[in-house]
Amino acid sequence: MSNTNAEPGFIDPHGGYRNLKSFQTAEIICDATVIFCERFSERRSRTREQMVQAARSGKQNIAEESMASGTSSKTELKLVGVACARLEELLQDHQDFLRQQGLALWPKDSPEAQAVRKLAYERHRSYETYRTYVEAGGETAANTLICLIHQANYLLDRLLRQLEQRFLEKGGFTERLYRARRSSRERGSQNE
């Protein structure tokens, strides 16, 4: 359900999370993490389960944030924060994998990292866009996911700044609710 075309009122448009670059990136991370774990993690490993759950939670919290945005700035901000935290947890797991396997962490400006980062500008990105990287060796797969997580967290950080600015300009849902009710009463008394 989405209320992105609603008349202006005290409930902000909400939903539409599938159009958010942060959600799209988190969905790729989720799909790629499942494949990564199937290839490079022991089937019964607790870390494997936690990595898949962290990736899923990052994606799901962005969707939930988008749906809650119409009625709760507090919930919206909290869920973006949770998405960031879960993706940061996943980032640490991929960095741990590289360190524990004696594999290289790509520098941000390395040709490999730049090639992965450029894919962010592709239209209609999905897991398929990154498949050759994720299904390569462990070093390439983990570093690809690290690049994607950095991109998602950058986008979520920008979203947090936008939410903060919107809250300062418009207030929260309770404030808008109060203003709408007061305005309705004022119009009612003018019509008497």
pLDDT of residue 132: 96
Who has greater pLDDT, 157 or 180? Answer: 157
The tokens for 143 are 């570093």
Residue with tokens 């389960």: 49
Which contacts qualify for 78-85: CB closer than 8 Å, 24 or more apart? 80/156, 80/159, 80/160, 80/163, 81/160, 82/57, 83/22, 83/26, 83/57, 83/58, 83/59, 83/156, 84/153, 84/156, 84/157, 84/160
**pLDDT mean over 31-48:** 92
Looking at residue 120, the DSSP 8-state letter turns out to be: G
Tell me the CA end-to-end span of the chain in Å, nearest whole number. 38
The tokens for 25 are 């990136």
**pLDDT mean over 143-169:** 88
Contact call for residues 2 and 15 (beta carbons, < 8 A): yes
Least confident of 33-37, 38-42, 113-117, 177-181: 177-181
Give dist(CA 147, CA 112) in Å, integer: 10
Residue 56's pLDDT band, with cuts at 50, 70 and 90, is very high
Contact call for residues 149 and 29 (beta carbons, < 8 A): yes
Residues 6+ apart with CB under 8 A from 59: 23, 26, 27, 29, 30, 83
